[in-house]
Amino acid sequence: VGNVYFHSIAVGTQSHYALPAVTYNKLGRPASAGCIRMAVADAKWIYDYTSTGNTIKIVKGSTKKPGPLGKAKTIKVKGGINYDPTDPGVPDSRKKKDYKAKRISGYLTKKGKKIGY
């Protein structure tokens, strides 16, 4: 009911490298008074495929009954990682290096290929 905002995690700057790992790892849990925080790739999908005024139905899911679209595996990042692994503004080479070093559990390439999830 009313206006609900869908957005990536707000960090107070436009830098791709200002996101604390602890904040990123809270995705999927309530964190504010009603906004829906998403990974960059998910927020971009909403932006690309919906329009102002569209109605979006939010359903409550669970691990056993995840909802109509299922539940994607959550990417986790370790301390010291300061970016969203789904952000196309972060070079694939950096994501690949951090993935191989096990600092991130997965990432999305600029071409949309999912690695590790």
pLDDT of residue 24: 92
pLDDT of residue 35: 82
- Map out the domains of the chain as residue ranges: 1-117
Both tokens of 104, joined, read 């991130």
The residues facing 77 across adjacent strands are 104
pLDDT tens for the 117 residues of the chain, in order:
567 788 888 888 889 999 999 999 988 777 777 788 889 998 888 889 888 888 887 777 776 777 777 777 789 999 999 999 999 999 999 999 999 999 999 999 999 899 997
Q: Residue 16: how many CA atoms within 13 Å on its side-chain side?
A: 11
pLDDT of residue 2: 65
